[in-house]
């Protein structure tokens, strides 16, 4: 019974963490702040193969 309560508490903590990420839109804040600028630097520094 004790292990069941530990598993339930862990799952509730995980659910609370996932809800916080969803509620505060933390995944898109990470994308906008870290990942997109990194990708922009990478693709802006590449040599252009085809001019449009």
Contact partners, residue 9, CB within 8 Å, separation at least 6: none
Helix and strand element counts for the chain (H, E): 3, 0
- Each domain of the chain, given as residue ranges in start order, spans 25-52
Q: Write out pLDDT tens, residues 2-46.
A: 999 999 999 999 999 999 999 999 999 999 999 999 999 998 888
Q: Are 12 and 18 in contact (CB under 8 A)?
A: no
CB-based burial of residue 21 (10 Å sphere; 0-12 exposed, 13-18 middle, 19+ buried)?
A: middle
Which pTM does this prediction carry?
A: 0.65
Contact partners, residue 21, CB within 8 Å, separation at least 6: 27
């Amino acid at each position: 019974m004790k292990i069941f309560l530990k598993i339930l508490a862990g799952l509730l903590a995980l659910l609370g963490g996932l809800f916080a990420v969803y509620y505060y839109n933390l995944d898109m804040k990470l994308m906008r702040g870290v990942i997109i600028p990194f990708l922009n630097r990478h693709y802006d520094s590449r040599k252009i193969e085809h001019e449009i």
